[in-house]
Chains A and B, each alone.
Chain A
Amino acid sequence: MYKILEARELTTNIYLMEVEARRVAKRCQPGQFVIVRMDAEGERIPLTICDYNREKGTVTIVFQTVGAGTKKMGELKAGDSLHDFVGPLGCPSELVDEPVEELKEKSILFVAGGVGTAPVYPQVKWLQKRGVNADVIVGAKTKDLIILEEEMEAVAGNLYITTDDGSYGRSGMVTQTIKDLVEEGKHYDVCIAIGPMIMMKFVCKMTEELGIPTVVSLNPIMVDGTGMCGACRVTVGGEVKFACVDGPEFDGHKVDFDQAMKRQQLYQTMEGRALLKEQEGTTHHGGCGNCTDNN
């Protein structure tokens, strides 16, 4: 069992948890993830690492409630425990292996979409600790969905916030801000984009036009997260890769996003069903239109 030391809602449906996980905290690097199972009946859910404290032996995760599993997890409080917490999984960000001197020469741009702000944070923090100030664009649908703003402000070179509806910061999509920054005379050697698949796809389209090499962190469906099943397979540059062991970060200009997005839909109806059952319990009588379960 893995004890939760802190649990709070960052904003509607987005939660942060600091969890005691000695082995993970000792070895994890920016870019890696964990798999969490809430209780003995729960499914295995991949979550990105937002922060870690090696001395305390803790790992901080941030998750958005999208289905029945994460919704139930959002109800846990400090003092509760998670049944399983395994990691660090996946490859660390390539930045971690680059000599610091070379990193300092580079102009790096991070683009974070929604809850994707969480996995961007440890990378920016890691760089800042080594004297590399990266620019960060954080985008969300609306003001209320912006998370970790203060934390990011503290570690980013320049922080640009943009909301789709213009309720906060700049107005429009993250792609618009990328374009604006370049037009304003900014130059970037590399872009790292993490967020919803659709956002990463459009960021890649934009950076391809602008000639900026781009890394994305993919979030396909996973089961074991150790390379034994291939549920998370994606096509990158015409080759099949398992995101859990070969990634999750890949060259964004080579990823087949359309296929990856289709594969994400795989269990959509089943997830919807599970959520409805959870929310409506015995009052759910097939109102979702797909559900034949009349319990």
Chain B
Amino acid sequence: MDVLKKVPVREQDAKVRATNFEEVCFGYNEEEAREEAERCINCKNARCIVGCPVSINIPAFIEKVKEGDVEAAYHIINESSSLPAVCGRVCPQESQCEGVCIRGIKGEPVSIGKLERFVADWACEKDVKPEGAKEKNGKRVAVVGSGPAGLTCAGDLAKLGYDVTIFEALHEAGGVLVYGIPEFRLPKEKVVAKEIENVRSLGVKIETNVVVGKAVTIDELMDEEGFDAVFIGSGAGLPKFMGIPGEQANGVFSANEYLTRSNLMKAFQEGSTTPIMKGNKVAVVGGGNVAMDAARTALRLGAEVHVVYRRSEEELPARVEEVHHAKEEGIIFDLLTNPVEILTNEKGWVSGIKCVKMELGAPDESGRRRPVVKPDSEFVIEVDTVIMSLGTSPNPLISSTTEGLETNKWKCIIADENSGKTTKEGVYAGGDAVTGAATVILAMGAGKAAAKGIDEYLTNK
């Protein structure tokens, strides 16, 4: 064994997995997990804990894995995280816990994410549940949205003894975990549903099919339904389009629509009642994680897929691991390429995407080199489906129907970073609704901070 390297994780073969929706990564077995755990040197001032947005006591749980007491490891993780099976799979560990691991200075960092995943999957298999509150405190908190921020906030408050109800607009709880991230990265039945069940087992009630702002307002929740505080974790679900000619043509989808059809509505399964355009040749516009998810979904539905991105590979906002997986599976990357028009046939269907070539100029305010159009570089990629994955912004529905809740110019709710406190008393917010589209783990960190903020507020009230 090479102590400088991670114990490799078993994966489905790229050629095989490109044709199915089964999970790509198989995860560690007990033996592999223990071997990897041995690489952790149990630092006194563990930097990995600081790198984790929810501050899991990483060395402590890894020690338990070394000892073979996986159940104890699970309870250590659960003190800080309500969704370990999710986080172990979708966190960008390279820029968080693993990014600061001492082992990473010389060699590869400890595979913290895969170990967390192993512990969570083991607990799920053995039906080990998180430990709930000993006593209820009689206070009620409403949580708007059942995504990572809401689930975390609800889980933490329930552990503190609060009576928590989550209100979810869709028919299923989980937010982006159920409608956004595909099955092959995050299995829905095996992982997401089980973790949500765990949050429920803490006493959290989940009411689906409630669009807050339409069926009920925040003010009504507090004044009429008797909630002492509200947490808003409604996310950033409003898709952006480019505004180029032809964008309303048949065959142009937002990544949100495409992924919702496939993930939430199960359109990828044979016999699904919700249809999806399979497409023969698909262009996905954008370079983030959502673009990778949409591209890899379209590929599995049988299409040839091009990722069209206006900057170079170095600037791709997606995780390196995802880009690597996408390439292995046969996704074609058309970099430094920007769409200017979507072409249609006489029936109004997409027939191609007209693009220009770009080159990188001087860095802009964000420090990234600004792409500049190459003169006379227009060309056409023939495609029958275009998926726009240009990012999302918060839906103004809640902010526009809540008296005294202020937003910034991007319609993001203004909230204190450390407590989640908004401009309205008793109302807290966190996750993408506050920051704009970010990551699952940052939303969880915000949900956690808000739970602490709400607890302090209601304790002192």
Which residues of A pack against B, CB within 8 Å? 23-24, 26-27, 37, 41-44, 68-69, 83-89, 223-224, 226-231, 233-235, 240, 245, 256, 259, 262-263, 265-267, 270-271, 274
Q: Which residue of A lies closest to B261 (CB)?
A: A223
Q: B437 at interface (Cβ–Cβ under 8 A)?
A: no
Q: B209 at interface (Cβ–Cβ under 8 A)?
A: yes
A259 and B216 within 8 A (CB): no
B275 vs chain A, min Cβ distance (A)? 4
Contact residue among A26, A41, A223, A231 (Cβ-Cβ distance under 8 Å from B273): A41
B212 vs chain A, min Cβ distance (A)? 10
B210 and A23 within 8 A (CB): yes
Q: Other CB < 8 Å A-B pairs besides A85-B209, A274-B273, 7 of them?
A: A41-B273, A43-B274, A84-B171, A88-B215, A230-B253, A230-B257, A262-B348
A227 and B215 within 8 A (CB): no
B280 vs chain A, min Cβ distance (A)? 15
Given A86-B169, A240-B247, the answer on whether A229 and B395 have CB atoms closer than 8 Å is: no
**Complexed CA–CA distance, A274 and B275 (Å):** 9
A229 vs chain B, min Cβ distance (A)? 4
Which residues of B pack against A, CB within 8 Å? 169-171, 208-211, 214-216, 237-239, 241, 243, 247-248, 250, 253-254, 256-257, 260-261, 265-266, 272-275, 277, 347-348, 392, 395, 397
Contact residue among A23, A43, A44, A229 (Cβ-Cβ distance under 8 Å from B254): A229
Q: How many A-B residue pairs have CB under 8 A?
A: 106
**Complexed CA–CA distance, A223 and B277 (Å):** 14
B211 and A89 within 8 A (CB): yes
Given A223-B260, A226-B397, the answer on whether A259 and B348 have CB atoms closer than 8 Å is: yes
B171 and A86 within 8 A (CB): yes
Cβ of A224: which chain B residues have Cβ within 8 Å of it? 169-170, 260
- B170, B243, B254, B273: residue with the most chain A Cβ atoms closer than 10 Å: B273
B275 and A230 within 8 A (CB): no
4 A-B pairs closest in CB distance = A229-B257, A228-B237, A262-B348, A270-B275
Cβ of B397: which chain A residues have Cβ within 8 Å of it? 226-227, 245
Contact residue among A24, A228, A233 (Cβ-Cβ distance under 8 Å from B248): A233
Contact residue among B210, B247, B250, B395 (Cβ-Cβ distance under 8 Å from A228): B395
**Complexed CA–CA distance, A23 and B207 (Å):** 11
B215 and A24 within 8 A (CB): yes
Cβ of B248: which chain A residues have Cβ within 8 Å of it? 233-235, 240, 256, 259, 263
B395 and A226 within 8 A (CB): yes
Given A271-B275, A274-B273, the answer on whether A227 and B237 have CB atoms closer than 8 Å is: yes
Given A245-B397, A259-B248, A263-B248, the answer on whether A229 and B274 have CB atoms closer than 8 Å is: no
A230 and B241 within 8 A (CB): yes
Can you list 8 contacts pairing A with B, beta carbon distance less than 8 Å? A41-B273, A223-B257, A227-B238, A229-B257, A230-B241, A230-B257, A240-B247, A263-B250
